């Protein structure tokens, strides 16, 4: 049996939810290792769209257990709502959902601080979803965060919240001119939350390691994508955690020797949400066209995604920092009608040609993509069931992506439904 890490190899929104759902048919456990409810994983089953933000999409397979690891920051409102959504659809989570007692909680003040800071920053804002994820991680590393384990003792929770809310109220009142928070109300709300999730809370590191020792098949999934990694992404326009494969060890509580495979999920083109550098971004008119063809709107916020050509530079970067063993290409069908398709093979900066993604923000913003142009296949791939059935030009396009990234392709998605996937 094997432990596989699923990572986004671009700026997120690559279709990880669909691929995790697809692969979870043959696994025992799916575990989420980082991020918060700012990530929406969309799965389409028989035409019905289901969007999950905290619970791994493997929960849609009745035999699969799902874990929310210690590296995730949990919004109680979102989690309880998702559990209710699943139960209303006849999907039981009892005995199948396991939540780390070490996971940190997103508190009401985190959301307020997130939204207030973005508003004050104006044109220099990062472009967060305003869900409180960043401030929750700030408190985690400031050693003042509230963990699920803190809910077990009311006095411990009270002492931490009195101190935290006292500090946050000073910020809200003096810096952001916002109303102060009611400590007692928050304590009572979170004690009630503890009652609602108590049956799911456990030591998930022990649970996962025991499962590995028992030879179980396990998928570890991250939120967002490599280019939003706080260390290796387009800093500061990044998320507040490590979506890369190395984050799986920390966010679940396993050693790196336990990982057998790292699958990178990549769109057949490139998108990103929010502000930040994007070397291969289309002009507004063509971006609108691809956005329409690909339904490129954020699953969490509904924000239109920025669209661009496939960027082999950032995918090579993802291969390097994740140790990708293979790729899954999604949304190939979105390109079906195009006469020609471009791939960015490198960047140019003045007289320099860059084959690796630069760390310097000013270079990320100013580089010019070096393109090669490929003929489109101009026929539908939507009904294709095997790699051999793909149009010849589509196979050449995929082959070039594999060549430029130095990574084999295992899967190709040609539609949003879980069945619209080609195994290579």
The residues annotated with a catalytic role in the active site are 13, 41
Of 309, 307, 224, nearest to 272 by C-alpha is: 307
How far apart, in whole angstroms, are the C-alpha atoms of residue 17 and residue 45? 12
By the 8 A CB rule, do 319 and 9 touch? Answer: yes
Residues 6+ apart with CB under 8 A from 257: none
Residues making up the chain, counted from first to last? 424
How far apart, in whole angstroms, are the C-alpha atoms of residue 154 and residue 322? 41
Q: What is the DSSP string of 44-74?
A: EETTEEEEESSS-GGGGSTT-EEEE-TTBEE
Angle 294-296-302 from CA coordinates, rounded to 5°: 150
Strands (E), 55-194: 65-68, 73-74, 97-100, 104-105
Label residue 334 left, alpha or beta by phi (over 0 means left) and psi (-120 to 50 means alpha). alpha
Label residue 45 left, alpha or beta by phi (over 0 means left) and psi (-120 to 50 means alpha). beta
């Amino acid at each position: 049996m094997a432990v596989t890490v699923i990572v986004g190899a671009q700026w997120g929104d690559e279709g990880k939810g669909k691929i995790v759902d697809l692969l979870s048919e043959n696994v025992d456990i799916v575990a989420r290792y980082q991020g918060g409810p700012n990530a929406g994983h969309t799965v389409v089953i028989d035409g019905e769209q289901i969007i999950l933000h905290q619970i791994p999409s493997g929960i849609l397979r009745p035999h699969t257990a799902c874990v929310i690891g210690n590296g995730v920051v949990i919004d109680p409102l979102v989690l309880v709502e998702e559990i209710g959504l699943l139960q209303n659809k006849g999907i039981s989570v009892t005995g199948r959902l396991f939540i780390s007692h070490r996971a940190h909680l997103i508190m009401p003040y985190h959301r307020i601080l997130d939204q207030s800071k973005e508003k004050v920053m104006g044109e220099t804002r990062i472009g967060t979803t305003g869900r409180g994820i960043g401030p929750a991680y700030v408190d985690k590393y400031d050693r003042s965060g509230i963990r699920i384990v803190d809910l077990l003792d009311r006095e411990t929770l009270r002492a931490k919240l009195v101190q935290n809310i006292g500090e946050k109220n000073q910020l809200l009142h003096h810096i952001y001119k916002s109303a102060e928070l009611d400590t007692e109300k928050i304590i009572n709300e979170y004690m009630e939350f503890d009652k609602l999730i108590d049956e799911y809370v456990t030591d998930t590191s022990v649970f996962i390691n025991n499962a590995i020792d028992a030879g179980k098949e396990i998928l570890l999934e991250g939120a967002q994508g490599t280019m939003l990694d706080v260390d290796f992404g387009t800093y500061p326009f990044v998320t507040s955690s490590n979506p890369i494969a190395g984050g799986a060890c920390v966010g679940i509580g396993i050693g790196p020797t336990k990982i057998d495979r790292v699958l990178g999920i990549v769109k057949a083109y490139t998108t990103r949400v929010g502000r930040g550098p994007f070397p291969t971004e289309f002009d507004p008119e063509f971006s609108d066209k691809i956005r329409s063809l690909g339904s490129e709107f954020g699953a969490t916020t509904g924000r239109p995604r920025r669209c661009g050509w496939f960027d082999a530079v950032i995918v090579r970067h993802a291969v390097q920092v994740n140790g990708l063993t293979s790729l899954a290409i999604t949304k190939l069908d979105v390109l079906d009608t195009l006469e020609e398709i471009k791939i960015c093979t490198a960047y140019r900066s003045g007289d320099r040609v860059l084959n690796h993604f630069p760390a310097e923000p000013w270079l990320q913003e100013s580089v010019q993509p070096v393109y090669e142009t490929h003929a489109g296949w101009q026929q539908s791939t939507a009904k294709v069931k095997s790699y051999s059935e793909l149009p010849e030009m589509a196979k050449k396009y995929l082959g070039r992506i594999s060549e430029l990234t130095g990574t084999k392709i295992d899967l190709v998605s040609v539609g949003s439904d879980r069945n619209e996937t080609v195994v290579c």
